[in-house]
Structure 1
Amino acid sequence: MWLSVVVLVHVLLLISNSVESQSNIDTLPGFPGKLPFKLETGYIGVGELDEVQLFYYFIESERNPKDDPLVLWLTGGPGCSGLSGLLFEIGPFTFDYANSSGNKPTLELNPYSWTKIANIIFLDAPVGTGFSYATTWEAYNINDTSSTAQTYEFLRKWLMAHSTFLVNPLYIAGDSYSGKTVPIIVQEVSNGNEIGHWPPLNLKGFVIGNPLTHEIWDTNARLKFAHQTALISDRLYQSTKRNCQGSYINPDPNNTQCVEDLREVNECIANIYIAQILEPNCAFSQPPKPNKLWSLSPHLDDDNFIDILHSTPDQVLEPWCRFYNYVYSLIWANDKSVQKALHIREGTITDWERCNYTLTYTHNIITSIDYHQNLTKKDLRALVYSGDHDMSIPYVGTLEWIELLDLSVKDDWRPWFVDGQIAGYVTIYTEEKYSLTFTTIKGAGHTAPEYKPKECLAMIDRWFAYYFL
């Protein structure tokens, strides 16, 4: 995949002599007329000799850029592009599905974009994600620790180049796998401020959605979630808990009662789309996989996922699946006219992928819970949200690790509403200067803004304004 990168190493080294490059974008293929918001794209070099070139999309707040928060957004994966978060979750434009066909995706405005209330940097990180690239083979070998260090370096350099935003309240945000990396970056920023790294960053807190925190913990929570949502019976739930003793991943094959219970559980959920349990399963035509419930990311690794992404929308068969929406991003972002409009450096990547699952990436941080514990001693705010129909990273597991932090409950579990309709449930925790707001999004999946954009905009708007009604 990276052959062309290696061939062009010497050219790329010349290209990346400057630390950063940036371009203002007025128009985009597929969008009628001029963009009604300010879009900037660019690269910032990080690491030794700036051998890693991280690509970003920056969109100014449509309300008050001078005073509104500055948000660094990291889509999960690892390896999912910032463009995915922009197009399918919280960005100002998305695809006009009704008027898109074949190789002609068209764009429309998203009325529930978070850029209506915040300045947002959508970052392609880690290297190898989206349009980010490296000028050496070695620089593609990354892990949780090196990736978060590069993101911190990116943020400092970006703010040095955009110094007017140094005074804006800064929030680090992301979803899914970013539930592991965001707390590490927040710790890096906090530590850097304390020891005098330049520039000082006006860090106020962080936001994580449907967050992966501990791979075994989050996966284990699927059994409890399946029971609470009536996907498995009371009898089977109690039997599995008893026989497996709370451990449902890689059970002892000699524990026949546990193995049999898990087999029954898998039969009950094998054809359910665990990213949103009420939507069709894109692998509906495939035989169920062994231990599907307990694989780390079954909603991402279905056998036919790549085939779907490389087809065109008019080739997909019924029933409709959410993954089919992503086909348009593959077509659009690989269009040469789009890449030219975005000022992508020619020859730096072969094919753009919404999520690159071929990264040379080592998961060297088992859990981010310890980082969360450290951050409770800081003057910070945290927002943790989960779609309550997400079985890939169930909200019940997220609640369990939050309770491990031993925070005081300021406002216990209660409903919150949008336009008179139940939108979810919220609990607010505090510890001296630290506060954590946990909220569910009723009916949302993995990840919440893609399913319930109106409710999620209301959530983040209220939270930024320091109230939650």
Structure 2
Amino acid sequence: MHGYLPINPTSTSSIFYAFYEAHNSTLPLSQTPLLIWLQGGPGCSSMLGNLYELGPWRVTESLTLQPNPGAWNRIFGLLFLDSPIGSGFSVAATPEEIPKDQNAVAEHLFVAITRFVQLDPAFKHRPIYITGESYAGKYVPAIGYHILNKNANLGVSERVNLAGVAIGDGLTDPETQVATHALNAYYVGLINERQKNVLEKAQLEAVRLTQLGNWSEATDARSKVLTMLEDMTGLATLYDYTRKVPYREDLVEKFLNIAEVKKALGVNESFVYEVCSDVVGAALHADVMKSVKYMVEHLVRRSRVLLYQGEYDLRDGVVQTEVWVKTMKWEGIEEFLNAERKIWRVNGEVVGYVQKWKSLTNVVVLGAGHLLPTDQAVNSQAMIEDWVLQRGLFQNVYKEKSIFVV
């Protein structure tokens, strides 16, 4: 199921969606969770997630499709949204309508999600989990926060049934995250102390500009830090320091520009599909260094939050996440930071680590980079399923304390 969700009654702006129903739900359909996936960028298409990461099909080098053994729609409904408008197959009637901040992104997404739920009465009561990676480390908290605020003023029948949010390898609190790259690369052994010192100076400049509220300059300063790190290390990609070649995002772009594919998706054949839009990236340029940590703090009190990272990601990975989580203003943060980091196994094999306290869970996934489901499909599927259903290491142990009267 695919199509367009109009987001503005006075223009043609609309969000493209692709939906896959649960392949083998263990629950009645009316109770089967719905996952929504948002891509990062800013300006990248969720068709990358769909056809290269976690959808039921993967594009091959020969531009054919093969089944994905770790698809996230095995037991859940899975909705991909090309957001913001102007990215992927989504339509921005005018460049001025493209969001310039997270509030505008969230407003559009709220309209799109509400419209999607209205497509089928069976969607109405299904629990919704909003997921995404990278720059969606800002989109996911923004729409989650927006939903909670909107729901407070809506009748029960009009509310969005938000059950939780999940952020993979996310940029969420850029000011603290940008200050980690030098030490991270140094301790991995990729740069020496002199290079570390040079990189730290560049990081401090990005922090300084952020604190001054010079947003565009701060974004440029962060880009400079990452470019310097690339130049120092010679890595194929900072998204996974073990890769000899970058991720093949180009395969998705080539596949979706095939005329028959566009026709099958109901997209105008003259539409030139780009996996990432420079126009959307430019519209959100001044937004990049703005934090949404306060939105996560709000969500962790009123919902459930999953953070997960691939161990090889140098851009938005384990170190970059831990550093901002430590600074969260939340009454459970001390307990979370002191919680045991448990060894996570799938089929008897060590695949990562899970740290959890009440509504907050953090997962480190071994053998994965930034596009984590691409690298560890089956383990990412096990993670999302167990977190949503609160199974295994992801269960809420607080519910399960029983008092036995002998």
- Taking a change above 3 Å as real, the CA distance of residues 81 and 266 of structure 1, as seen in their structure-2 partners, is closer
1:175 counterpart SS class = strand
Does 2:218 correspond to 1:218? Answer: no
In 2: Cα distance, 1:390 partner to 1:54 partner? 29
Which one of the candidate residues 300, 308, 312 is aligned to 1:385? 308
Tell me the CA shift for residue 139 of structure 1: 2.1
Cα deviation code 1:129-179 (max 9, x no counterpart): 111113334323643221221001111111122221121111111110000
Tell me the CA shift for residue 266 of structure 1: 6.9
In 1: Cα distance, 2:357 partner to 2:228 partner? 38
- Taking a change above 3 Å as real, the CA distance of residues 468 and 396 of structure 1, as seen in their structure-2 partners, is farther
**Which amino acid is 2:299 matched to?**
L
**Which amino acid is 2:60 matched to?**
D
Q: Residue in 2 aligned with 1:87?
A: 51
- Taking a change above 3 Å as real, the CA distance of residues 341 and 244 of structure 1, as seen in their structure-2 partners, is closer
In 2: Cα distance, 1:62 partner to 1:459 partner? 17
- Taking a change above 3 Å as real, the CA distance of residues 377 and 251 of structure 1, as seen in their structure-2 partners, is closer
**Which amino acid is 2:296 matched to?**
H
Q: Residue in 1 aligned with 2:140?
A: 182
**Which amino acid is 1:60 matched to?**
E
In 2: Cα distance, 1:121 partner to 1:459 partner? 18
The answer to whether the 8 Å contact 2:60/2:251 transfers is no
The answer to whether the 8 Å contact 1:220/1:248 transfers is no
- Taking a change above 3 Å as real, the CA distance of residues 422 and 147 of structure 1, as seen in their structure-2 partners, is same
Does 2:126 correspond to 1:168? Answer: yes
Which one of the candidate residues 330, 341, 350 is aligned to 1:422? 350
In 1: Cα distance, 2:371 partner to 2:240 partner? 9
Bigger proportion of residues as helix: 2
Tell me the CA shift for residue 115 of structure 1: 0.6
Which one of the candidate residues 66, 71, 76 is aligned to 1:108? 66
In 1: Cα distance, 2:389 partner to 2:99 partner? 40
Cα deviation code 1:223-280 (max 9, x no counterpart): 22213322235x5588679x8598364899xxxxxxxxx9997764244521100112
**Which amino acid is 2:274 matched to?**
E
In 2: Cα distance, 1:246 partner to 1:358 partner? 26
Does 2:278 correspond to 1:357? Answer: yes
Larger radius of gyration: 1
Q: Residue in 2 aligned with 1:51?
A: 12
**Which amino acid is 2:15 matched to?**
L
In 1: Cα distance, 2:381 partner to 2:153 partner? 35
Tell me the CA shift for residue 48 of structure 1: 4.2
1:62 counterpart SS class = coil
The answer to whether the 8 Å contact 2:50/2:80 transfers is yes
Q: Residue in 2 aligned with 1:247?
A: 204
Alignment of 1:340-419 (within 5 A): 340-345=263-268, 349=271, 351-359=272-280, 360-362=282-284, 363-364=286-287, 366-378=290-302, 380-405=303-328, 406=330, 407=333, 408-409=335-336, 411-419=339-347
In 2: Cα distance, 1:383 partner to 1:212 partner? 14
Tell me the CA shift for residue 388 of structure 1: 0.9
The answer to whether the 8 Å contact 1:224/1:396 transfers is no
In 2: Cα distance, 1:375 partner to 1:385 partner? 16
- Uncovered stretches (5+) of structure 2, i.e. residues with no partner: 210-225, 394-406
Cα deviation code 1:326-373 (max 9, x no counterpart): 3332222111111111111455x3x10111123251343701111112
RMSD: 2.8
In 1: Cα distance, 2:47 partner to 2:146 partner? 25
In 2: Cα distance, 1:267 partner to 1:70 partner? 42
Bigger shift: 201-210 or 45-54?
45-54
Q: Residue in 2 aligned with 1:461?
A: 385
In 2: Cα distance, 1:461 partner to 1:126 partner? 27
In 1: Cα distance, 2:186 partner to 2:120 partner? 49
Q: What is the aligned length? A: 366
- Taking a change above 3 Å as real, the CA distance of residues 193 and 268 of structure 1, as seen in their structure-2 partners, is same
Q: Residue in 1 aligned with 2:255?
A: 332
In 2: Cα distance, 1:177 partner to 1:265 partner? 19
* Identity rate, percent: 27
The answer to whether the 8 Å contact 2:240/2:313 transfers is yes
In 1: Cα distance, 2:319 partner to 2:195 partner? 15
The answer to whether the 8 Å contact 1:386/1:447 transfers is no
In 2: Cα distance, 1:193 partner to 1:263 partner? 42
Cα deviation code 1:116-136 (max 9, x no counterpart): 021011001111111111333
Question: What's the TM-score, normalizing by structure 2?
Answer: 0.82
In 1: Cα distance, 2:114 partner to 2:76 partner? 19
The answer to whether the 8 Å contact 1:82/1:124 transfers is yes
